[in-house]
């Protein structure tokens, strides 16, 4: 079995030829407190809050090892190292705040949000948590956006009906239905795992999308699958809404999670550990280490102590205890029930803010770097007029004009987007072109109008399907 965080295209996985078509939700009974009595109306009301997240990443790697057939190490072609990936997300505030998984946007130098109406906006990464696998994005829209409503994940029960929304395999917005299969799952993503398991179909590309309950409220953020293949086998996992809200609220307010800390390492008490300690019941979390001068040491907590209660309740396991500690207000006095040498004691201690430098080593997002763009000449496109005697062979008949691409600079935006030597530029924006000068005039006009992109209609030299293709090329600076 493998645990897959899902995005597309897939790396080192089987062919995408097995991609499934978009799913539709069926067989979900309406309830009195649903929107009306029609599930399609409920779905229609929440889908505008779901978005597709498209990112571009520079995956250039340098290797000191030369190919056996090469006389010297060869640097990689930057044009082949910029990859596009697709994930999902949802709007959490009308001002343009969007949540997705961190692994969707990790190392991305460009982030584009695609809304259900087809409109697109560039997004910037406000902050993220690697441990929680959550990222907070911001778009600048000219109108308030429809935000999803959070549900209470603490009220979720096994057997509850749910539906997932997202962008599986980059096919576009799709839905799938199922039930909550289990709660408090630990797939060892982090020391705090408390995942909702669902059999609602989740695939690569669904990362960051919402898991809705039947009232149309978000009770989870879809984050991972476990499968022996590259597709869903009914084991999907979502970060509970309450945990996600805690992390996202901290990211928005502080720029990092800012958890509380007492300076201990904990381990779940197993039957073997309980037997070794002479405990009558298998319960609690045993202290494996106490950091010097931390709150725990100052309060008298010692290695080998077993923590059985936090305040007035019993945590289900050491992960739950760690979550309780981390989410406590910084500076709050907490009480722990501690079993030591067969006797229970109460210890009170004051939490501290987790040392920021230590936390950032585990959790801070990695700064993305834009690839170095080589631009000789403008946009990296070398152009020439189409020789008159080749127009017919190139498909330029019946008075059709165009400009030939004689070379594309490695690492340039046109190269990253797939333009190649031998392509023919037919139009720049809505204007037909016949000379390199006319192409440059179209680029200059787009810049004069303060556009970030110029649109070129290109007849590819190698055509997978007949006809030309539009290419949006970067001519300005975006917010992504």
Confidence of residue 378 (pLDDT cuts 50, 70, 90): confident
95 given a catalytic annotation: no
pLDDT for position 477: 61
Domains of the chain, by residue range, sit at 2-64+71-254, 260-353, 378-474
Instruction: In whole angstroms, give the CA distance from residue 189 to residue 177.
Output: 25
Backbone angles phi, psi at 7, to 5 degrees: -160, 165
**Model pLDDT for residues 305-325, shown as the tens digit of each residue:** 999 999 988 998 888 999 999
**Model pLDDT for residues 54-110, shown as the tens digit of each residue:** 998 887 643 333 333 333 333 444 444 678 899 999 999 999 999 999 999 999 999
345 given a catalytic annotation: no
Listing DSSP states for 97-142 in one string gives EEEE-HHHHTTEEEEEEE-TTS-EEEEEEEEEETTTTEEEEEE--S
Is the domain spanning 2-64+71-254 CATH 1.10.1130.10? The answer is no
Which of the pair, 394 or 108, is modelled with greater confidence? 108
Which of the pair, 342 or 97, is modelled with greater confidence? 97
pLDDT for position 189: 74
Q: Do domains 2-64+71-254 and 378-474 have the same CATH topology?
A: no
Confidence of residue 405 (pLDDT cuts 50, 70, 90): very high
Fold of 260-353: Pdz3 Domain (2.30.42)
Is 349 a residue whose pLDDT tops 50? yes
103 given a catalytic annotation: yes
Instruction: In whole angstroms, give the CA distance from residue 135 to residue 107.
Output: 12
> Which of 49, 58, 103, 174 is labelled catalytic?
103
pLDDT for position 4: 52
**Model pLDDT for residues 445-460, shown as the tens digit of each residue:** 999 999 989 999 999 8
Rounded to an integer, the average pLDDT of 123-144 is: 95
Of 183, 185, 180, 182, nearest to 161 (Cα)? 180
> Which of 49, 129, 133, 194 is labelled catalytic?
133
Q: What is the CATH number of domain 378-474?
A: 2.30.42.10
Rounded to an integer, the average pLDDT of 387-408 is: 80
> Which of 207, 227, 243, 412 is labelled catalytic?
207
Confidence of residue 425 (pLDDT cuts 50, 70, 90): very high
E strand or H helix at 443: helix 436-448
Question: How many percent of the chain have pLDDT more than 90?
Answer: 58
Rounded to an integer, the average pLDDT of 187-214 is: 88
Question: Are residues 288 and 296 in contact, defined by beta-carbon separation less than 8 angstroms?
Answer: no
Lowest mean pLDDT among 393-397, 425-429, 435-439: 393-397
């Amino acid at each position: 079995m493998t645990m897959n965080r899902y995005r597309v295209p897939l790396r080192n996985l089987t062919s995408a030829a097995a991609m499934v078509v978009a799913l539709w939700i069926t067989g979900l009974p309406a309830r009195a407190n649903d929107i009306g009595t029609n599930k399609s109306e409920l779905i229609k009301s929440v889908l505008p809050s779901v978005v597709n997240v498209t990112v571009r990443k520079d995956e250039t790697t340098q290797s000191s090892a030369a190919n056996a057939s090469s006389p010297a190490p060869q640097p990689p072609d930057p044009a082949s190292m910029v990859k596009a990936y697709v994930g999902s997300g949802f709007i959490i505030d009308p001002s343009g705040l969007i949540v997705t998984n961190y692994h969707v946007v990790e190392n991305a130098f460009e982030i584009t949000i695609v809304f259900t109406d087809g409109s697109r906006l560039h997004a910037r990464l406000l902050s993220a948590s690697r441990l929680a696998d959550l990222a907070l994005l911001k778009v600048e829209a000219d109108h308030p956006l429809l935000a999803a409503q959070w549900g209470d994940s603490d009220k979720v029960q096994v057997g509850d009906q749910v539906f997932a929304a997202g962008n599986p395999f980059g096919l576009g917005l799709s839905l799938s239905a199922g039930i909550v299969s289990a709660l408090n799952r630990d797939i060892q993503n982090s020391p705090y795992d408390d995942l909702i398991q669902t059999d609602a179909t989740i695939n690569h590309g669904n990362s960051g999308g919402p898991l809705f309950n039947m009232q149309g409220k978000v009770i989870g953020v879809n984050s991972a699958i476990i499968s022996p293949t590259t597709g869903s086998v009914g084991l999907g996992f979502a970060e509970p809404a309450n945990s996600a809200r805690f992390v996202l609220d901290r990211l928005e307010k502080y720029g990092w999670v800012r958890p509380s800390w007492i300076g201990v390492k904990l381990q779940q008490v197993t039957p073997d550990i309980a037997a070794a300690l002479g405990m009558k019941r298998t319960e609690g979390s045993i202290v494996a280490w106490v950091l010097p001068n931390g709150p725990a040491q100052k309060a008298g907590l010692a290695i080998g102590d077993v923590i059985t209660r936090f305040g007035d309740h019993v945590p289900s396991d050491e992960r739950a205890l760690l979550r309780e500690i981390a989410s406590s207000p910084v500076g709050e006095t907490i009480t722990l029930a501690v079993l030591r040498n067969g006797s229970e004691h109460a210890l009170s201690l004051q939490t501290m803010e987790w040392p920021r430098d230590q936390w950032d080593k585990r959790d801070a997002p990695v700064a993305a770097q834009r690839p170095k763009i080589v631009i000789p000449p403008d946009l990296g496109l070398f152009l020439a007029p189409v020789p008159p005697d080749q127009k017919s062979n190139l498909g330029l008949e019946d008075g059709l004009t165009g400009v030939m691409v004689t070379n594309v600079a490695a690492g340039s935006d046109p190269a990253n987007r797939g333009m190649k030597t031998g392509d023919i530029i037919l139009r720049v924006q809505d204007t037909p072109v016949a000379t390199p000068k006319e192409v440059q005039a179209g680029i200059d006009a787009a810049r004069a109008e303060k556009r970030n992109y110029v649109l070129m209609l290109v007849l590819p030299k190698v055509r997978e399907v007949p006809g030309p293709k539009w290419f949006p090329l970067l001519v300005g600076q975006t917010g992504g």
